[in-house]
Amino acid sequence: MRRINMESQIEEPKKYENILIEKYESVVGIAKLNRPNSLNALSAALMKELLDALNRFEADENIRCIIVTGGEKIFSAGADIKEMMKMSSIDALKAGNLDYFDQIQKVSKPIIAAISGYCLGGGLELAMACDILIAGENARFGQPEINIGVMPGAGGTQRLTRAVGKYKAMDLILTGRQISSKEAFEIGLLSRIVPDESVMIEAKRVALEIAAKSPLASGVAKDCVTKAFEMTLKDGLEFERKNFYLLLGSEDKEEGMKAFAEKRKAVFKGK
């Protein structure tokens, strides 16, 4: 059954129980984690819905940028501990719930994480699977899994280490301590810090800015930057160069360069 999302008055093709979705200015897709009673703990059901929503935004030609947020008070306190308590190793392996984080990274459109409040454990790992991290000045970050007898399992040991380096990552992962937005920004974990009340305003502003660029160029640029963490420098430079040549064949390149010469704003069609 189709239902109407009252918040944005757009038709929601699918009923979600753990997230809310919305479109902004027709070109930005917003997915909001919505389990306030458990601090947006990332249950398997929530992650499944989130991936479904992101894939729908991916398939929607009008959407050019995506925002993932937890709302004004909390991003996420991590994987659902109460759900994991009941799981054996084999149950977890078979369920494959942590694979969702990698699937999210495969979305080709740029994803902004708009972060307020706690961004811990799997919450931080979710944010790190996004592309631009915008946080409020009072947000809190950490990989506290060590405090409950485990360790990060959704990319924390890998993405955090690549983002901040071995020694900062070891500090956070082995002590489980929380850090402020200021410290997170200083170690390279955040793109921007803004006043708490401006997190969504800034995320939407940046999303619209990205949405006005060529979606071909932004998708390829995202792919190249992501691959920088997976390839040797030599292979990465070759990958970048070939993708640059590829973009030279696009209509968006014709339009962008013509608009520059004619001193007007380019209108990109993603062709």
Q: Which residue of the chain is nearest ligand CAA when measured via CB?
A: 121
Q: Quick one: which of 30, 31, 41, 135 contacts ligand CAA (CB under 6 A)?
A: 41
Choosing from 41, 79, 169, 217, which is the catalytic residue?
Answer: 79
Angle between helices 215-227 and 233-247 (to 10 degrees): 170
* Using rule CB under 6 A, residue 146 touches ligand CAA: no
Q: By CB under 6 A, is residue 86 in contact with ligand CAA?
A: no
By the 8 A CB rule, do 69 and 29 touch?
Answer: no
- Assess whether 125 carries a catalytic annotation: yes
Residue 120 interacts with ligand CAA (CB under 6 A): yes or no: yes
Residue 270 binds ligand CAA (CB under 6 A): no
79 touches ligand CAA (CB under 6 A): yes
Give the one residue of 29, 70, 78, 110 binding ligand CAA; rule: CB under 6 A: 78
How many binding residues for ligand CAA (CB under 6 A)?
Answer: 22
Residue 49 bears catalytic tag: no
Q: Name the packing angle between helices 215-227 and 251-261 (round to 10°).
A: 110
Please identify every residue annotated as catalytic. Answer: 79, 122, 125, 145
Q: Which residues bind ligand CAA (CB under 6 A)?
A: 38-39, 41, 77-82, 98, 118, 120-122, 125, 144-145, 148, 152-154, 156
